[in-house]
Structure 1
Amino acid sequence: MPLFLLLGTLFAVLIAGILLYLLTPRRYQSADSVAQSYDEWTDDGILEFYWGDHIHLGHYGSPPQRKDFRVAKSDFVHEMVRWGGLDQLPAGTTVLDVGCGIGGSSRILAKDYGFAVTGITISPQQVKRAQELTPEDLNAQFQVDDAMAMSFPDASFDVVWSIEAGPHMPDKAIFAQELIRVLKPGGILVVADWNQRDDRQKPLNFWERLVMKQLLDQWSHPAFASIEGFAELLAATGLATGEVKTDDWTQETLPSWLDSIWQGIIRPDGLIKFGWFGFLKSLREVPTLLLMRLAFGTGLCRFGMFRAVRAEVRSLSTTAAIKC
């Protein structure tokens, strides 16, 4: 193929990808729109091909070091376990993985730590794929459930775990309430999430609002909470004991955004596997990934970590005595 024809073809594909990005936003409408987006991503297999079975960012160390994209994702799970103190818990500990995706983190928690894991997602196709990828002898099960109104009774789990699910939740206060509600007394909540800068302290300017609008519209996000704001919501449930612990892992996870784009370059077999249509769908996500890198790199967004412990529940006899 002559060089000018090759360049012309690449330019046409680039324009098509940009038009696809601009003309087909995935704005949040309801839980159904989130489920539909993840069903589509799971069905075509493109996200799994490039990102593996961990549909979340990687941990590159502090300070960040060069490492394989998928290894960084696996490392993230182990770092989160240690940060939350979950490595001190015995085998058989019951864990709820809220927003489990196709089960990558759930399988590590079950295999490497001996936990009994239940993963939930709003996407039926993700549940189906998670079940396909999970060996029968692994203590991990998956089901469709809504994190805003979970089907589990109060005090059901020793640990509640969630990675990057919060931006899909339309009411962060209800989300916080549900996460702690299903914890047993003394149980541990560990959450990792994409967060916006606290705009109560420093309001967003015109350009920052434009960037945030794209980050919301393109990936079915109703809103991002701030680290400070979500910690306050967890405390406001009245179900957490002591202080809600927070941390900022922005620098540790920052290389993930460009690494995710780099996967499309170093793995050209994806073009053979998914064809030009798949290439266009992948190209469509590049502007959002670059905007994410910009937002997290400039402080507009932050990667927040949260840990809370469920308060002991007073017995009925104690409550009655207080009332008397």
Structure 2
Amino acid sequence: MNLHYALLLTVLILVVGTIIYLITPRSYKSSETVANSYNAWTQDGILEFYWGEHIHLGHYGVPVRHKNFLQAKADFVHEMVAWGGLYKLPSGTTVLDVGCGIGGSSRILAKDYGFNVKGITISPRQVQRATELTPKNITAEFQLGDALALSFPDNCFDVVWSVEAGPHMPDKAKYAQEMMRVLKPGGILVVADWNKRDDSQTPLNFWEKLIMRQLLDQWSHPAFSSIEGFSKQIAGTGLVEGEVITADWTQETLPSWLQSIWQGFIRPEGLIKFGFTGFIKSLREVPTILLMRIGFGSGLCRFGMFRAVKS
């Protein structure tokens, strides 16, 4: 009987949890929606506890190999530096990190490569936390900023870097335009982003639309672009020398989704640290993470890499 009641309770929790998940979306309405979401995630500390300083996916190599979850995230930064050719740049290179989160990538770029990094985020809480986590001897600083209306003049950074910020941008063309605008001539744009597959030839089917709707609504995303579409928008700025280089890192990053859920099992101290409320908050993110794994695993979503040089 006890087992029977336990099963019924589990089913009830799943049903109630699913209903709450579906009726309380965090749909994008404005930039304030995004800021509020990240303020809340930063303030409660749960995301940082499980995902570390890098609020982005990890890089697991080709072929994929087992890695520590947090180490894979740090490795992603180094892989992106290598892919973008940034390791060739001298110490003192100026970098703008667009959508810097709590500064994990910025600190690696400053500490390991000697770059002078300016990180911007739309979340005041993230600015505060990024600053708290950054030692005085690290040449990285953080400020509030809107990626669609950068406060910097034209031609002022050697590198513009952005990781997984694009889905929050309602105007992808403006996002590309602003990043290219603040680059110096000859400067390098390197972007990593979540993308959908190119549906210009084969539209999304019913189930794909259903999944995509949840991926947009639950994490304050107005839209995903395709790799092909965003590449054209970067080129469309008229500020690119040569071609926009792209790559698909879906397989390299795919293990991150299930690994992020696995952290809840192997780090049970989170239950003590954040209590029942933290458990419910964490549990609420699981369906979206699973849908992300389904989306990226099925080809509905792709992890796009973009590199462009300013003319």
Cα RMSD of the aligned pairs, angstroms, is 1.2
Most deviating of 14-23 and 279-288: 14-23
Which residue in the other structure is 1:317 paired with? none
Aligned length: 310
SS of aligned partner of 1:137: coil
One-letter identity of the residue aligned with 2:302: R
SS of aligned partner of 2:27: coil
Which residue in the other structure is 2:88 paired with? 88
Which residue in the other structure is 2:28 paired with? 28
Is the CA contact (8 Å cut-off) linking 1:39 and 1:125 kept in structure 2?
Answer: yes
| Superposition pairs of residues 206-225 of structure 1, within 5 angstroms | 206-225=206-225
How far is the alpha carbon of 1:4 from its aligned partner? 5.6
TM-score by length of 1: 0.93
Q: Deviations over 1:246-287 (max 9, x none)?
A: 000000000000001101111111111111111111111111
| Superposition pairs of residues 32-181 of structure 1, within 5 angstroms | 32-181=32-181
How far is the alpha carbon of 1:156 from its aligned partner? 1.2
Query: In structure 1, how many angstroms separate the alpha carbons of the residues matched to 2:146 and 2:300?
Result: 29
SS of aligned partner of 2:161: strand
Query: In structure 1, how many angstroms separate the alpha carbons of the residues matched to 2:201 and 2:39?
Result: 37
One-letter identity of the residue aligned with 1:90: P
Which residue in the other structure is 1:309 paired with? 309
CA distance 1:12–1:43, change in 2 (3 Å): farther
How far is the alpha carbon of 1:3 from its aligned partner? 5.2
Query: In structure 2, how many angstroms separate the alpha carbons of the residues matched to 1:91 and 1:172?
Result: 31
CA distance 1:310–1:81, change in 2 (3 Å): same
SS of aligned partner of 2:135: coil
One-letter identity of the residue aligned with 1:20: I
Most deviating of 17-26 and 113-122: 17-26
Which residue in the other structure is 1:198 paired with? 198
Task: Provide structure 2 residue ranges, at least 5 long, that are not aligned to the other structure.
Answer: none
Which residue in the other structure is 1:229 paired with? 229
One-letter identity of the residue aligned with 1:208: E
SS of aligned partner of 2:304: strand
Q: Is 1:284 the equivalent of 2:251?
A: no
How far is the alpha carbon of 1:6 from its aligned partner? 5.3
Identity %: 72
How far is the alpha carbon of 1:228 from its aligned partner? 0.3
Q: Which has the larger radius of gyration?
A: 1
Query: In structure 2, how many angstroms separate the alpha carbons of the residues matched to 1:16 and 1:128?
Result: 35
SS of aligned partner of 2:41: helix
How far is the alpha carbon of 1:22 from its aligned partner? 1.3
Query: In structure 1, how many angstroms separate the alpha carbons of the residues matched to 2:99 and 2:3?
Result: 46
Query: In structure 1, how many angstroms separate the alpha carbons of the residues matched to 2:262 and 2:157?
Result: 38
SS of aligned partner of 1:287: helix
Query: In structure 1, how many angstroms separate the alpha carbons of the residues matched to 2:179 and 2:57?
Result: 21
How far is the alpha carbon of 1:292 from its aligned partner? 0.5
| Superposition pairs of residues 237-316 of structure 1, within 5 angstroms | 237-311=237-311
Query: In structure 1, how many angstroms separate the alpha carbons of the residues matched to 2:197 and 2:247?
Result: 14
How far is the alpha carbon of 1:8 from its aligned partner? 5.4
SS of aligned partner of 1:96: strand
